[in-house]
Structures are given as structure tokens and as C-alpha cells.
Amino acid sequence: MPKSILIVDDSASMRQLVTFALNDAGYEVVSAVNGKDALTKISSVKIDMVITDLNMPEMDGIEFIKQLRNRAGYKFTPIVMLTTESQESKKQEGRQAGASGWIVKPFTPEQLTDIVRKFAR
């Protein structure tokens, strides 16, 4: 059974790009437009890994990660930030919230699938 990955990004084109890359690599993808939407979606489907943007309306990536880590069954789920932010202070904030890794946009589909293979075992 393929691993299920939740992609959380307010950009429809970014969700589509990530979905195509991960589908081609054999993963199932669930998408959400922000952290609030993502928390709703995880209540009805089992997720093996999360890829989330940082800057989103309604609930940003940091707040989403904090809330997800407090949910039963998601304490150790791999969460990778996929964002244009590359400052060390933002990365540290992400790690403190519970992020497992960080990918800076722009990226190649190969970079994305390499990171996913590393975390989604």
C-alpha cells in the first residue's frame, strides 16, 4: 500500500506541482489549502508524512505543526517545511514547532522525492 502524504500550501500551482512529483514517485497525495484545512482533512484519512508551506492565510505552517504534534498519532509523523523562507531563525522556529526537515523553493521534483524517500519509510 503506498504511503500517503499531506501537502499543505495556499498556492494551487505548488500543490499541483508537488502532487504530480509525488504521484509519479508512487505516493498518494492529500492536499489542503492551509493549516486549518489540513487539520480537518487528517481527521478522516491516515497520513504518513506532511509537507507544509510556512506562510499561509488562516493558519500558517508553524501553528499547523504545533497543533498537529498535539494530536494522537502525529507526534512522530515526519513533517517537512516547503517554503521560500531560508533564514536560520525561521528554520529554528520550525524545528522548535516540530518540523523534521526543510526544503527551500524553488526545488526540483528530484529534490522533493529524495527528501520524501528519506522521511516516509
CATH of the domain at 86: 3.40.50.2300
- Predicted confidence band of residue 9 (pLDDT cuts 50, 70, 90): very high
Percent of the chain, pLDDT > 70?
100
pLDDT, residue 1, reads 78
Strand 4-8 versus strand 49-52 pairing type? parallel
Place of cell 482533512: 41
* Domain total in the chain: 1
Q: What is the CA radius of gyration of the chain?
A: 13
Question: How far apart are alpha carbons 31 and 56 in whole angstroms?
Answer: 14
Domain enclosing residue 110, as ranges = 4-119
| pLDDT for 52 beyond 80 | yes
Mean pLDDT to the nearest integer, 58-78: 94
Per-residue pLDDT tens for 72-117? 899 999 999 998 888 889 999 999 999 999 999 999 999 999 999 9
